[in-house]
Structures are given as structure tokens and as C-alpha cells.
Chain A
């Protein structure tokens, strides 16, 4: 190969035969498309085409897999009736409301905790870099294992949380056995698992704020709190929006954590949208269309959020 390259390189410009030049130009024109081909092909096969097919499926009553011998799995076009049925599907309604409550409580908490950590740990010294590394570590662990870690922490008669409370004279709390407490536990653990990553995003934003702004404020005897509300918060706004929107998008998909922390229980107290979609699809042989309709609702929510974020980002730049 190297010999061939050398001959090409050694040939003085202008001597390339016309046909070769034409081929070269064609090759050059096709090159970026070739480079994009694997990514586009995979995204098409495993994301975009399935999205289209999923939306199409939501208009049918059908099984996940169409089995010729099983009548109920055959696709029947039903238009928008799946979506109408969703309105009075009690499981869908309760899981949608639960997911919304989860998003509304957990995301602001995540933003506040991450911001607090970022402000506390932003100084650029070795000591703070070390502390940041430790706080970031949970971001390297799968949500499944984070769930295991905390199921163990919250254990009623074995967990460290209740042991700590017993030292303060508080009786054992049934964290994962009570409906409300289990939902609170899921929120706490979700925030714990995501805080380190978002702290880093916010610290990247903090370090971009010019230092002389704080120096000028200090000369004017501005209080630390006023510096925080009048300099830090406004200038950190772009990073805060990123953390907020990414947080909302991932909160709507909360599931893996629940698998190992509560498995959706007690009862169905911590079943959120994604788990309900799977259960709908697999519960009866003809419910794949209903599951697809639920997915479509979630997709529209995520799409609106993403577009809002893009709008916001564009307005700023």
C-alpha cells in the first residue's frame, strides 16, 4: 500500500490522467457520505425506523409478535381509539400522574443539590479535585447497582439508614414497605445517582464566570448572598437550563433504578411510565398497540421538551 501511495505522491501535479482526476473528484464527493454511512444506517435501523413503526403500531390493535395461529395478535387498524382508551385506562393514568409528580419533585431537587455541590466544590485545588472525584463516582455505577446499594441502605432491619435513626432514638422506618416512603426513597436515590454528573456540568459553567466580577463586587462590599443571586445565578443560567432539561428528560424514563430498589412496589406504588409500557405490552397478547400509544405520548412529551431547550439555547447564542 505504501508503495502505491508514494507513486501517487511522487507524481507531479497536473500529470494525473483526466479519467483518474474525474474518479478522484467523485471519490472526494462521495467520501463524507461514506463516513456518515455507518452512523446513519445504525440510527435508522435502531432508532428512527422503530420510532416510525412504533407510531404506526399505536394505530392498531395487535400483538408484539404477529403469530398466524393466534387470532388476537393479528393487526387490526383502530385509528386513534388506543389513545381514547388511554384516557380511561386507570393504570396508565395513575402511572402518568406518578411520573409527573416524580419529575416535578425530583428534578428541582436534583438541580438544587447539584448546584449546592458545585458551589461548595468548585475551587480549583488538588483537595477539591479529589473530593469532586469521589462525589462523581456514583455516575460510573449502573442505575441497577445504585438501586441495590440503596435497597441495602434502606433495609428495615438491616439497613444503615434505620440504624442511624435508631441511634437518634427513632423507630425503624419502613422505607421500602410504605407506599409514600418508597416513592420518596426512589426520589432520594435518583438524585444521589445523578448529582455528581450534574455537579460537574455546573462547575464547568462556574469556572467560565469571570473572576473580576466577584472582585468588583467584593470591593463594593456586596454580600456573598447578593453575589450569588446577582452574579452566579444569572451567568450560570445556560448550564442550569442544560441540567434542568436533561434532568426532566431522564426523570420521565426512570425505570432501571426501580427494578432493583423496589421492583415497582409496594403494590404498584413505584411503577412509572416505562415499566407500565412494558407491562401493558406483555400482559395480554393483543395489547402491543396500547403500549405503542403510551410510548407515543411519552415521545411527544420528550420532543416538546427537547425543542423548547433548543429554542432557548438558540435565543441565547
Chain B
């Protein structure tokens, strides 16, 4: 490998940083320009007269607050639901021997081979039969079970010493209390990582809302975004500002939970 103090290494790092930073920063800078300046050629790197006009337009015109609220409700509730059931299933698979345990494990893992993309039409029919079409409840419940979430929790809970659980059982502690008072507190780091990832997945999700929601006042941010692309030519000032606004919560989560996320990744957490 290249020596750490090699000057070329720093040149390479600078190039890489520009390649990864410039596109999102350019989006942000452009969103702060006036209508006229956005399409000016040659483009100005920094906005000459920074304005939040496109943001004001977006926020006032397009029901955006509503979409933002819908996305928030769905991401938060769905993330909590997903983490809850993943902890339960991960605990069962990590700490109990019971008839069919391997079968259940393989069954859950086999779902990894079936992305939503390839079962879209039958899933649509299931949602319709359960009365979940056009409901936020559908968006919260339907994507909640994730094989990767169960797997992450199982891998973490396996390392909790059996002796702790056995000691509690000898004291006749009810099983649900063992789960809530011993397993959950000890698994908090993994729970935090999974919660953060779930918030990101659900906030960024496009396919489930695309499938479930048609009524405009139930749109999520991603649906609003997809609907302002391409249909009648692109309204760039609006699209740029919606994009920046919809990334802001992820940026906040990222800055707040950066350590949890990065160390969780290092520990081998997988993307959905």
C-alpha cells in the first residue's frame, strides 16, 4: 500500500473529496440562486445574490409541509416497529432452541432473495385485500420485517452471556421481563444502529409509497420528488429546493449518529 506520508496520497484524497463533495454542494449552491442565475452560462460557482426564493415557493405552493409530515410519521413509526419485531425475532433465534428453529431462520433469510421489485403486483393485491392501499398504516406495517434487521440483532444478542438469562430464570423472572430488562438494555448499541438505518431506509424509500399511495395528500417527500421529475418538463428551481429539503433530515441524523452508523457498518451491518 501507499505510504501514509506520500504526497501523492494527499493529492488522491483531494481529488476523491472533490468528486464526492462537489455534486451535493453544487446542488445546494444552485438551490440558493435566483431563477435567472440558475441557467446562466457559464455558471457561477457561488450564488451572486443568494436567495431562498425557491424554498419559499416550494414551501408555500406545493403542500410540502404535508408531505414532510407524512414522511416523518411513516419513517419514525415504521423504524420503531421494525426494530421492535427484529429484536424479538433476533432474540428468539439467538437464545432459544426449539422445534423448527433452523427452518425459521432459513425462511427469514430466504426473503433476502425476494426484493420488492419482483413481487410488486402480487404485493399490490395483498395490500388491497388487507385494506392497506392509500393508508399511511400500510406504509408503516408492510416494510417493517427485514431479514437484515433480524440477522443483525441475532448476531448481537448471541454474544449476551446465557448465564445472565439463566440467573433471571432461576429467580422466576417472567420471560417478557427478561427480554425488556436484560436483553434490550444490553443490545442497545445494535438497536441504535438498526434504528438509525431504518429511519434512513424508510425516509428514502420510493417503491413502497409508489405502490401504496395514490392520493396526493398522503404523498411522502420521495413521491412528491418523483412526481416533479419529467412529467411536464422539469421545474429545476423547485426540484433543487425539494431535494435539498428532503436531504436535510438525513444530514441531521448522519451528523448526530455518525459514530453509531459508521461503527455499526464496521461491525458488518448490511444494507437492506
Question: Does B73 sit at the interface, judged by CB under 8 A?
Answer: no
Known interface pairs A64-B124, A152-B30; A141-B142 also in contact (CB < 8 Å): no
> In the bound complex, what is the Cα–Cα distance between A260 and B230 (angstroms)?
8
Given contacts A145-B247, A152-B27, A200-B265, contact A43 B13 (CB under 8 A): no
The number of chain A residues with a CB under 8 A from chain B is 97
Residues of A within 8 A of B107 (CB): 40, 43, 48
Cβ 8 A contact of B4, one of A123, A137, A145, A150 = A123
A80 close to B (CB within 8 Å): no
* B13 CB to nearest A CB, Å: 6
The contact of B122 among A57, A143, A260, by CB within 8 Å, is: A57
In the bound complex, how far is the Cα of B19 from the Cα of A303, in angstroms? 35
Q: Report A-chain residues with C-beta under 8 Å of the C-beta of B206.
A: 142-144, 256, 259
Bound-state Cα–Cα, A45 to B114, Å: 13
A299 to B207, CA, bound (A): 18
Interface majority SS (helix, strand, loop, mixed), chain A: helix
Is B262 touching A152 in the complex (CB atoms < 8 A)? no
Interchain CB contact under 8 A, B24 and A149: yes
* A to B CB contacts below 8 Å, 12 in the list: A9-B172, A33-B98, A48-B114, A64-B124, A120-B9, A123-B4, A133-B262, A144-B222, A147-B229, A196-B20, A224-B2, A260-B230
Contacts A13-B170, A253-B117 known; list 20 others, CB within 8 Å. Answer: A9-B172, A36-B92, A36-B93, A39-B88, A39-B145, A40-B107, A45-B130, A46-B126, A50-B126, A51-B119, A54-B118, A120-B16, A133-B262, A134-B17, A137-B254, A138-B24, A139-B271, A141-B24, A246-B271, A292-B122
Q: By the criterion CB–CB under 8 Å, are A120 and B2 in contact?
A: yes
Query: In this complex, what residue of B is CB-closest to A310?
Result: B109
Tell me the minimal C-beta distance from B183 to chain A in angstroms: 10
- In the complex, which residue of chain A has the Cβ closest to the Cβ of B173? A9
Q: Is residue A86 contacting chain B, with contact meaning CB distance below 8 A?
A: no
- Supposing A120-B12, A120-B13 touch, asked if A148 and B239 sit within 8 A by C-beta, the answer is yes
Cross-chain contact B101 with A263 (CB below 8 angstroms): no
Question: In the bound complex, do residue B112 and residue A295 qualify as a contact, i.e. CB atoms below 8 Å apart?
Answer: no
A292 nearest CB across to chain B (Å): 7
- Asked whether A135 is an interface residue with its Cβ less than 8 Å from the other chain, the reply is yes
Q: Quick one: which of A42, A120, A132, A143 has the most chain B CB within 10 A?
A: A42
Give Cα distance in the complex from A28 to B92, angstroms.
Answer: 11
A13-B230 in contact given A145-B246, A152-B236 (Cβ < 8 Å): no
Q: Which 3 A/B pairs are nearest by Cβ-Cβ distance?
A: A142-B204, A50-B122, A42-B145
- A198 CB to closest chain B CB, in angstroms? 9
Q: What per-residue 1/0 map shows which CB atoms of A119-158 lie under 8 Å from chain B?
A: 1110100000101111111111111110111111100011
Chain A contacts of B9 at CB under 8 A?
120
A317 CB–B CB distance under 8 Å:
no
CB-contact partner of A36 in B42, B43, B88, under 8 A: B88
Contact of B171 among A9, A131, A147, A298 (CB under 8 A): A9
Q: Does A8 contact B (CB under 8 A)?
A: yes
Count residues of chain B with CB under 8 A from any CB of chain A: 99
Q: A120-B9, A228-B1 are in contact. Are A144 and B226 (CB under 8 A)?
A: yes
With A35-B88, A232-B1 known as contacts, the answer to whether A42 contacts B144 (CB < 8 A) is yes
Given A117-B16, A121-B13, answer yes or no on A13-B172 (Cβ-Cβ < 8 Å): yes
Shortest CB-to-CB span from A210 to chain B, Å, is 14
Contact B20 A158 (CB under 8 A): no
Contact call B85/A299, Cβ cutoff below 8 A: no
Give B31's nearest chain A residue, CB to CB.
A152
B119 touches A54 (CB 8 A): yes
Residues of B within 8 A of A51 (CB): 114, 118-119, 122
**Contacting residues, chain A, for B173 (C-beta < 8 A):** 5, 9
CB neighbours (8 Å) of B124 from chain A are: 64
| Cβ–Cβ < 8 Å partners of A43 in chain B | 107-108, 111, 145, 147
Considering only residues 135-194 of chain A, those with a C-beta below 8 Å from chain B are: 135-145, 147-153, 157-158, 160, 163, 166, 192
Give the residues in chain A near B251, CB-CB below 8 Å.
Answer: 137, 140
A53 touches B125 (CB 8 A): yes
**Is residue B123 within 8 Å, beta carbon to beta carbon, of the partner chain?**
yes
